[in-house]
A and B are shown apart, each in its own frame.
Chain A
Amino acid sequence: MSTNIILCGVGGQGTILASKLIASAAMGRNVAVKTAETIGMAQRGGSVFSHVRLGDGVASPLMARGTADLIIAFEPAEAVRQLPFLKPDGCVVVSSRPVVPVSAMTGGPAYEYEAIMAYLREQVANLVVVDADQAAAELGSAKCLNVVLLGAASRAGELGLTEEDLLAAIHTLLPNKLWELNEQALKYTASLS
């Protein structure tokens, strides 16, 4: 039994820390973890993704298309880019805030936000949209979007990890001064329902 998770977004958004938090939380439950990260050139504002695979019987850190139980997308267009990895009844947790690349303003394909969001709604039955701007305003920081999304994923039930597991990971990996903000971020989406 294994759980396949993809985290995706734009270089610098905090996807790598999010995948480390999931791994730490899983290890806290004695669940085997393998992950693969995008590191290097793509970090400069490029598309980035992490594959996180939890559970036994996993040989490869990368998963096949059509096998992700959960996609945690830090950016709507990146969610669509990774959608071929989602299994038919998989869950997508997505930040609603677009990051418009320079290429879209200098002659490349435009960022069709409405079409992208409509496509996600149409393709993904189990879709959780997180209003990142509102979260940043209420939490007073845009830097904990990753933990906001992890909280939402945990609540959606597809992560296989509880809020307590993730809290323990936050305490393990982050310095004390960031605990309070990230605890609030973790619980943020619960406060909305």
Chain B
Amino acid sequence: MHTEFLMGNEAIALGALAAGVNVVAGYPGTPSTEVLETVARRKTDDVYVEWSINEKAAMEVAAGAAYSGARAMVTCKQVGLNVASDPLMSLEYIGVKGGMVVMVADDPGPISSQTEQDTRTFAQFSKLPCFDPSSVAEAYEMVQEAFELSERLGTPVFFRATTRVDHGYEAIEVASPDEWRHNCPEGFVKDPSRWVIFPRLSVVNHAKIEARNAALQDEFSDYQRNLILPEAGEGRRLGIATHGINYAYVREGLREDARPRVLRVATPFPFPERRAVEFLQGLDEVLCVEELDPVIERQLTYVCGKYGLDVHIRGKLTGDIVPSGENTVESVTAAIDAFLGEEPEASAPAANAPTLPVRPPVLCAGCPHRASFYAVKVAMKGKKTIYCGDIGCYTLGNAAPLDMVDTCLCMGAGINIAQGVFHVEPDTTCFAFVGDSTFFASGITGTINAFYNQADMTLVVLDNSTTAMTGHQPHPGTGRTMMGEVVEKVSIEAILRAIGLTCVETVDPLDHKLAVETVRRVAAQPGVKAIIFKSPCVVLAKPQAHSFVDPDKCVGCQRCVKQLGCPGLVPRDGKVVIDESLCCGCTLCEQVCPFGAIGGGQRIAMDLGQAGGAR
């Protein structure tokens, strides 16, 4: 054992490795991404790791590995679990042989997600056991316990953490590689009565699942992490029930010498009912401090009814805790103070603070997506259009001054939404923007749907040759894998042509005039057609040159600033200057300036002929 300063996600990865995980598959998504990246960085040679093309693929790869007796882990964010839910809901009935942990990162807030869904609720829905750690140190140990339980019961289990555990750091004790468990998978043993799902098998296994979960409810009541902190000080008949990072907030908000009884639920499903009854005994009121869904609150209310306990359960459902959003130390402290009948600490009113600029995330200086959006905007000026966006950095194209994302729903949805709009409004020119990684993840089926069902739309693939938003993970178009292999690239253009599209043009978006001409020409074609805007992510391929403004030629019209909204263009003293620390020399502003006042940049030469390594 040794001490390391680790991010929660790194601790989860090292915990899985210490538990002898053999196969890890996932799809990137904040706040889950670092788990798989850490496995890839720290693993021994015999561990297999992959970025799958989406979460459904990851779930199925992990299931196959676990069928073969391997210990397997899936990593994804909460919305990724939705993509993987089809295989998971059936896998629940089939079960596994090797331990299988489904690591899902929930995102209260949400800070970087579309939804505030709660995987604890998904665990109830899918009838799968769920672990919910409260700290980095606990996450490291608990994931190992999750593998043990999964393998013993032959079922996949959820390991669910939230952003503040995933992205919190702590110095913790971890095992060294020579101390890791070594798991030698038996291999797949043929048995159709076990591995082939049929209604007859499902009804038999459903009964077994219910019996198992009833037994597990009892077992979890003795699980040391479902703990009760006894009350201290004057005997007040009050309790607080909490979970996850909120347990840390609750402890910050309580005095050691005078505090109510506290229940921390580490396994929200199956709910540790006997432990809950023990907690409730002798109490008058309980405040449930939860983030996302009122899972514990509903369970305690049910337990009170079932056992005839006269305890008033309060929380989100009674308006004592906000129903949505992320909790904070002060919001939890305030709720506890109100619950205990204590005066809240008066906070000094903020003196007239100046209005602050708003700072939403923006496309980077030199980002090729800006050039792609701008080319389409210029080409379609005055036309009736809809721009369906998707999930990735390019969602940021919605901001002023580009204003080029009219819809964004979930991974791959934009392509199908554009078709739906077309079927209602055939006179609208419909565009769908999708990134390269998102195209592979869930854009291909939508494109086939459009082609087969005779939609009229332009698919715009924004190909920056990486998964940029989540930190530049490789994907099938990059020709690299998480095992470090260099492999044949999958060509987006070849896929589109194989579907049947005859109009597919690949163009460098930073060649503004050509890009605009291409958009006009392609969008005028009937049926489904595609433009692939290909230019590398500037974070990965930062060129050396940068642009500068000739102050003698700049008349201060600010056309560049107002058209492009590039953070590298800064108005100063009635003219525009370029922030050298941000500029990448992409030359888009040079091409937009009507006075030829900007020069010096040098865009990366694109070898479009080899776009995506077309075979």
Residues of A within 8 A of B (CB): 10-11, 19-20, 23-24, 27, 32-47, 59-66, 77-78, 80-81, 83-84, 88, 100-112, 115-116, 118-119, 122-123, 142
Contact = CB atoms under 8 A, between A and B. Distances in A.
Interface stretch (B163-171, B274-282, B295-303): B163-171
A42 B171 contact: no
Contact of B169 (A36, A45, A118): A36
Interface in B9-47: 30-31
B333 interface: yes
Contacts of B248: 59-61
Interface of B: 3, 5, 7, 30-31, 111-112, 164, 167-171, 245, 247-249, 251-252, 328-330, 333, 347-348, 350-351, 353-364, 393, 396, 399-401, 469-470, 558, 561-562, 565-567, 569-571, 581
Contacts of B561: 105-106
B353 A109 contact: no
Contacts of B565: 102, 105-106
Nearest to A46: B361
A121 to B, nearest CB: 12
A42 to B, nearest CB: 6
A41 B30 contact: yes
Contact of B347 (A66, A81, A111, A115): A66
Contacts of B361: 11, 41-46
* A37, A65, A83, A102 pick with most chain B CB within 10 angstroms: A102
Contact of B164 (A32, A62, A104, A116): A62
B364 A33 contact: no
Contact of A102 (B3, B348, B567): B567
Contact of A44 (B245, B251, B357, B362): B362
Nearest to A136: B581
A116 B469 contact: no
A110 B357 contact: yes
Contacts of B333: 64
A130 B247 CA distance: 39
Contacts of A122: 351
Contacts of A115: 354
Contacts of B401: 106
A103 B251 contact: no
- Top 6 A-B residue pairs of the complex, sorted by shortest distance between their CB atoms: A40-B30, A44-B361, A60-B248, A40-B112, A59-B251, A64-B329
A66 to B, nearest CB: 6
A106 B562 contact: yes
Contacts of B357: 77, 100-101, 103-104, 108-111
**Secondary structure at chain B's binding surface: helix, strand, loop or mixed?**
loop
A62 B571 contact: no
A61 B246 CA distance: 11
7 contacts: A45-B364, A61-B170, A61-B248, A65-B330, A105-B570, A105-B571, A108-B357
Contact of A103 (B167, B329, B359): B359
Contacts of B469: 41
Contact of A119 (B247, B354, B360, B570): B354
A20 B4 CA distance: 12
* B248, B350, B359, B561 pick with most chain A CB within 10 angstroms: B359
A64 B167 contact: no
Contacts of A65: 330, 347
* B249, B252, B364 pick with most chain A CB within 10 angstroms: B252
Given A33-B5, A62-B164, A64-B330, A44 B363 contact: yes
Given A44-B393, A47-B359, A65-B347, 8 more contacts: A24-B5, A35-B168, A37-B169, A40-B112, A60-B248, A64-B252, A105-B558, A109-B355
Given A32-B171, A33-B169, A59 B252 contact: yes
A118 B352 CA distance: 12
Given A34-B168, A44-B393, A112 B358 contact: no
A63 B558 CA distance: 42
Contact of B329 (A44, A62, A83): A62
